[in-house]
Amino acid sequence: MPHPAALTGSLGKRSNLSLLDFHGIAGAVCRSLTASKDGPSLYDVCDPVLQSYQGGDAHLGQFYRTALGNPPLRALLRRTGLPALKDGERLAGLRAALLAARDEPAPDWAAVGAPVAALMDDLGVRHPAPPAAGAPGRPPDLAEIERVIRLTGAHLLHSFRRNGFIPTYAAFNLIGDPDIGGREMLMALTGLNARGYKNSTLLFSLARIFIAHSPARALINPPWRGIAEPMWEPVQIRHRSAYYDAFFTEALLGLIESGLASPGEAAAARHAIAEMVEFCLKTSAEEVPSQDGATVNVITALAPGKHPRFSRFFAQIKQDLGFGIYVPDCDTTACAFSAATQAGSDDPILGQPLVDFYRGYQVRAGANEPRVTVPLNDHIDYEGGVVTWIDNLRGERPYGNDLDPTLNLDILEVSFRNLKRWKIIETPQRLETLHRIIAFQQKLVESGAFKNPRSHIYYLPELYSAYFGRCYAAFVALPLTAQRIIDPHNLFALIRARVLGYVKDELIAHEMNPFDAALALMALAHLDAEPSSFTPALHCIVQQLGEGGRKGPYKAYEWNKMKTPTRILVGGPEVTSAFVLIALALARKRMAGA
């Protein structure tokens, strides 16, 4: 899951650059530098308040100077003015809000954010809407599919051998997320706990307004193919997390199971899997309080010390910008336990019945619903869902809390894999916890909300579909008697039909990039769709092989994201290879069976 650790002061942004784009980029830069200024700029507003001062909250000014006042961004935005701020009273109100955020020991964050929210109505940031695509005539040959499996597997193994781990990258998008408007920004300001995170959310939101009205928007926010957002290579922050290691473990298990790895590659894959499982369960383990007063070992997304493998430069910037406190999360814990279970680990940590711990973080309408303090997706019914962030031993909760549907699929999946170990069917309270999560998913899917990007905090609807397929596969692998007890109303069949309909009728019927195609293929293969439906996704994956150039078989795309403090993306060339490998291995197995 993405983390605000990915923050720097650069212009990190998506791009599908080619030589043909050069003139467009140069034009955007030229227009930004020579624009006719109409109203106060970001720097006219903020410099008098935040550039240099004594007392108050030092972090707000430090963040402004590092993230927004850096020379490249200042050059691009210095001639972008807002006509609305030519109103002297409105400009004074905005500066007064910034002064309150700077100087007051406990600011009224709703009041601080109000003048910024009032300027966010016309940002014009929208989700991708890919055009319809014609169906390719035939699927690729089996030899082509197997070649891609071998190449992506070799890419992961080479990366592990070169780095000592398989890296993932983060970059951020200053134009922000389409789902974050003024209302949602105020939710974040009032629901987040860490003051540094509130500061960054406030200032990034203010910067978004100027970027949206600047010629620099064309440079910072160019179009792309498909749904998952490509990541601009020059501005990516390499790091390591147990969440990522868990999915790289699953990918290498798929490579071994495919039988396409050479003996040397299979041995290297087993070694990497063992190392990554240890990183998940040992290095990244953290003791936290449970709701019954005991303590539980969970998995933190960013291990302490040197383990996240940030460069010294980015580690210092991260610290300077106020992102020094991290807490574990429910998703990383579920995925790490699942990967370790699939790898055959017998580590004692896996004996903990996580479902008991998750019950304490499960929303009950009218009882603990205020646990969701940042309800960015409040159009969905939270009843039965489990929230994201876990309080550490010191009781810190810097990000407040939110609730993501895909995370809840991962909780179901790890519970199915550990059904006997955790005695879920034999323990009524544990079984009820699963029943309530399944009912939460049923309401989400029946309403159609799962297809709405706004419903998802950290993911895209296409990734929800792929992860439901992963969850469904773990479910149908259970004995029929267990399936009937867990799902007496046959809700999984209902959800499967709706998700398949979305993937077939919407996702693969439109233009895709290779990451989109891999997620679609994962869903189709896991959900037992007819192999003939695989063709568009297979065609896209095989045709785009080599797009990554020197970095790998494929480019870096958005795997997951943070919507605040701005749109932070996490992915990487290795991530794309991992998902392509998993998807093709599943599809190949289904096609052979058919």
Residue 131 carries which DSSP code?
Answer: P
Whether the pLDDT of residue 383 is over 80: the answer is yes
pLDDT at 179: 96
pLDDT at 395: 83
Contacts of 505 (CB under 8 A, 6+ apart): none
Encoding tokens for residue 130?
Answer: 């890919």
pLDDT at 369: 54
CB 453 within 8 A of CB 401: no
Encoding tokens for residue 263?
Answer: 């003996």
pLDDT at 8: 36
Residue 113 belongs to some domain of the structure: no
Strands 168-173 and 237-239: antiparallel
Distance CA 432, CA 437 (A): 9
- The rounded percent of the chain whose pLDDT value lies above 90 is 77
Encoding tokens for residue 169?
Answer: 């990258």
Helices and strands (H, E) in the chain, number of each type: 23, 6
Residue 2 belongs to some domain of the structure: no
Locate tokens 């063709």: which residue?
Answer: 535
Residue 83 belongs to some domain of the structure: no
Whether the pLDDT of residue 286 is over 70: the answer is yes
Residue 487 belongs to some domain of the structure: yes
pLDDT band at 414 (very low <50, low <70, confident <90, very high): very high
Q: Over 472-515, what HEC string results?
A: HHHHHCCCHHHHHHHCCCCHHHHHHHHHHHHHHHHHCCECCCHH
pLDDT band at 2 (very low <50, low <70, confident <90, very high): very low
If you average pLDDT over residues 232-255, what whole number do you get? 88
Contacts of 550 (CB under 8 A, 6+ apart): none
**pLDDT (tens digit, 9 = 90+) per residue, 298-308?**
999 877 777 66
Full DSSP string of 92-144: HHHHHHHHHHHH-SS--HHHHHHHHHTT-TT-------PPB-PPPSSPPPHHH
Domain coverage including residue 526: 142-173+218-593
CB 270 within 8 A of CB 194: no
Identify the CATH number of the domain in which residue 407 sits. 1.50.10.20
Residue 4 belongs to some domain of the structure: no
pLDDT band at 234 (very low <50, low <70, confident <90, very high): low
CB 48 within 8 A of CB 217: no
Using a 10 angstrom Cβ sphere, with 0-12 exposed, 13-18 middle and 19 or more buried, the burial of residue 56 is middle
Distance CA 409, CA 540 (A): 27
Distance CA 574, CA 560 (A): 14
Altogether, the residues listed in the chain come to a count of 594
CB atoms within 10 A of CB 91: 18
Gyration radius from the chain CA atoms: 24
Encoding tokens for residue 467?
Answer: 């992860």
Residue 107 belongs to some domain of the structure: no
Full DSSP string of 157-224: HHHHHHHSS--EEEEEETT--TT--HHHHHHHHHH---HHHHHHHHHHHHHHHHHHTSTTHHHHS---
Helix 330-342 to helix 242-258 angle (10° resolution) is 30
CA 191 to chain centre: 20
Residue 448 belongs to some domain of the structure: yes
**pLDDT (tens digit, 9 = 90+) per residue, 324-369?**
667 899 999 999 999 999 999 999 999 999 999 999 999 997 654 5
**pLDDT (tens digit, 9 = 90+) per residue, 40-76?**
999 999 999 999 999 999 999 999 998 899 898 898 8
pLDDT at 311: 62
User: 146 to each of 260, 320, 527, 584, 589, how far by Cα in Å?
Assistant: 7, 47, 21, 8, 11
Least Cα distance to 15 among 513, 467, 454 occurs for: 513
Strands 567-571 and 237-239: unpaired
Residue 15 belongs to some domain of the structure: no
CB atoms within 10 A of CB 534: 28
Number of domains forming the structure of the chain: 1
If you average pLDDT over residues 234-260, what whole number do you get? 92
Amino acid in the structure at residue 448: G
